[in-house]
Amino acid sequence: MVPIETLLSKLNLYDIINILSFLVVFYFYLNGKKSLPYFGLFLFILIFLEVYLQVYWSYTYKYNIFIYNIISKYTIVYYTLVYYNYFRNKPWSGWIQGLFFSWLVICVFMNSYEFDTIKFDKLSYIGGLIFISGLIFMYFYDIIYIKQYKNIMNDSLFYLSVGIIIFFAANFPILVFVDLFITNAKKGGPVYSNFIQLGNIFLSLGYLGASLCSKK
Instruction: Please report the pLDDT score of residue 191 as a whole number.
Output: 60
133-165 confidence digits (pLDDT tens): 999 999 999 998 888 667 788 899 999 999 999
Task: With H, G, I as helix, E, B as strand and everything else as coil, classify residue 120.
Answer: coil
Q: How confident is the prediction for the chain on average, in pLDDT?
A: 86
Residue 34: strand pairing partners: 215
pLDDT for res 15: 94
pLDDT at 55: 84
List, in order, residues 6 or more apart from 8 with CB less than 8 Å away.
Answer: none
- CA dist list (Å): 20 to 9, 30, 38, 192, 201: 18, 15, 17, 25, 13
Per-residue pLDDT, averaged over 57-74, amounts to 83
The residues near 144 (Cβ < 8 Å, ≥ 6 apart) are none
Q: What is the largest CA-CA distance in the chain?
A: 54
pTM: 0.91
| 58 band by pLDDT with thresholds 50, 70 and 90 | confident
The predicted pLDDT at position 117 comes to 54
Give the pLDDT band of residue 196 (cuts 50, 70, 90): confident
